[in-house]
Structure 1
């Protein structure tokens, strides 16, 4: 156990504090709203992902990105990273018309189309083939509501761009995980108030990661725009309702929480994820017109302006990392 903990902290040190390339090189850009995305239309994605589109650190021989997690995990394909790489290149293609961006987008879309796997319940999902530390060890292979949502966001755009039914078929298969509870191989949980949650990580008890829920919900929204089917519309509306009625639970009074997990010490959002929350809430306001999203976005943005808040959040996050994961 001690050695395992040491190896984890060593890997985290290399990822967060050393100058070596790591998975964070890909994840931790500066979140922003894509002002060219239009609500009610499957066009450019809701965030630019420009830096991610230009990722070159660990491309395989087909041009698909891999991330370096260091330690025992090493280089891995991450379906979420591949989806975001694709969406960033899709945005650039629409802005510039340059074929190189279209080709990179199609590479990502093809990888997602070809790499759906059935989980133990027979549900098509994108698997992560490496162990990963969260509130419990996510043992390989594991799947994610976030991956399902962003993968669908790629596939529906590939379907419209190419008119290929193969992408539509893959999107339909991937959407099945949103129609099943986590206990039956899906990514949905329901709380005591009948709120429906999309889980980034399928763990017990559910952790309700905010950024993963919102990103996944955009995939449901995109699928609804493409298919105009009742199940997708109802799930999207239920997801919006859940977030609007629970945003206050993520508010500490000085910063936002990453999740609502059951750990004794609350998991504060890192500066990156706090900014991501703000951006996501601004997008949600654009998509829904619900004032609560803009209200919390403005409130959380105001928290960033106080040096005391930033230091308090940093110290709490550092202590959490040392004590938990």
Structure 2
């Protein structure tokens, strides 16, 4: 019982008290909105045929520009998230890549060359620290996992950063880093890769948390972006195969995350209590689905985007918030 109370207080402190008191917490970054940048025929055209619209690199399908308002950085100028002690301030690759993509898209929007330089600083920083196997490692212990650990979500976002750095500079080392970052997407988790198999559907998918596979659907959806981009702008056949696989799997898996009133975050076999999305994450997922439905030309993904968006009623949001809090307090 004491553990439940402690976890409950930690959730309240991170997501509510921190904001009310103006303290920086991990939620200070994760809860900054990230709407879709590709959501209709016009935005898809500007994304796919960016050169025809007079820009040197495509915007990212999810708009992370607001994330660049976050201002806690280390001595290398890379953003850090503030975790509870003893973890403390750490570079979270997924967060850093979102920030970098926001810098890139602000530069593409015409906000100044300094943003290009800052974006390329991020790209070079992580390129130089990428492992020979292609991983962008998390270098801190978390949730019982010992550093270094990895995530398909951070990998995908990092690949998209490397791709754009290549398009901006024509520096082949960035193209190599982009391709290398996808090299383990076809490798099973048991063999050190990112490829999981859904228990519900038997579909292959990209796992956000390989140390504890649970088929996180929003992580898979976001991770599907990089293979599509590398296939299109680097002409990579293996990436094209990964993208086609991801499209088919997402279409088959989505019904298994859709309930009569809300959606599920994952299918964690270790906990019997359903892991519902928070309202903020359901809104984010609707954006992912809108972007992916355009990129993959998928009516099935578009259909689920409409269903999930329709579920965002005030009553459902309140119900999901309570259930999410209870689950975090009991199981996390």
TM-score normalized by the length of structure 2: 0.89
From 54, 59, 65, give the equivalent of 2:79: 65
From 164, 184, 187, give the equivalent of 2:171: 164
1:30 and 1:214, CA in 2 relative to 1: closer, same or farther beyond 3 A? same
Partner of 2:208: 200
Contact 2:150 2:210 in 1 (8 A): yes
How far the C-alpha of 1:294 sits from its partner, in A, is: 1.7
How far the C-alpha of 1:11 sits from its partner, in A, is: 4.0
From 150, 153, 161, give the equivalent of 1:146: 153
How far the C-alpha of 1:284 sits from its partner, in A, is: 0.9
Q: Deviations over 1:72-91 (max 9, x none)?
A: 21100011111111100110
Would you say 1:21 and 2:24 are equivalent positions? yes
Partner of 2:52: none
Q: Distance in 2 between matches of 1:229 and 1:17?
A: 45
Q: Deviations over 1:86-110 (max 9, x none)?
A: 1001100001151121112111111
Alignment of 1:90-105 (within 5 A): 90-105=104-119
Contact 1:15 1:69 in 2 (8 A): no
How far the C-alpha of 1:309 sits from its partner, in A, is: 1.3
Partner of 1:131: 141
Alignment of 1:217-256 (within 5 A): 217-256=224-263
Alignment of 1:210-221 (within 5 A): 210-221=217-228
Structure 1 gaps of 5+ residues are none
Root mean square deviation, CA, Å = 2.0
Contact 1:182 1:188 in 2 (8 A): yes
Partner of 1:291: 299
Q: Distance in 2 between matches of 1:166 and 1:299?
A: 42
Contact 2:203 2:253 in 1 (8 A): no
SS in structure 2 opposite 1:214?
helix
TM-score normalized by the length of structure 1: 0.90
Partner of 1:259: 266
How far the C-alpha of 1:2 sits from its partner, in A, is: 6.1
Contact 1:39 1:286 in 2 (8 A): no
Q: Which one has more relative contact order, counting CA pairs under 8 Å at least 6 apart?
A: 2
Aligned residues: 314
Structure 2 gaps of 5+ residues are 50-56
Runs of 4+ in 1 over 6 A off after TM superposition: none
Q: Distance in 1 between matches of 2:10 and 2:89?
A: 13
How far the C-alpha of 1:238 sits from its partner, in A, is: 0.6
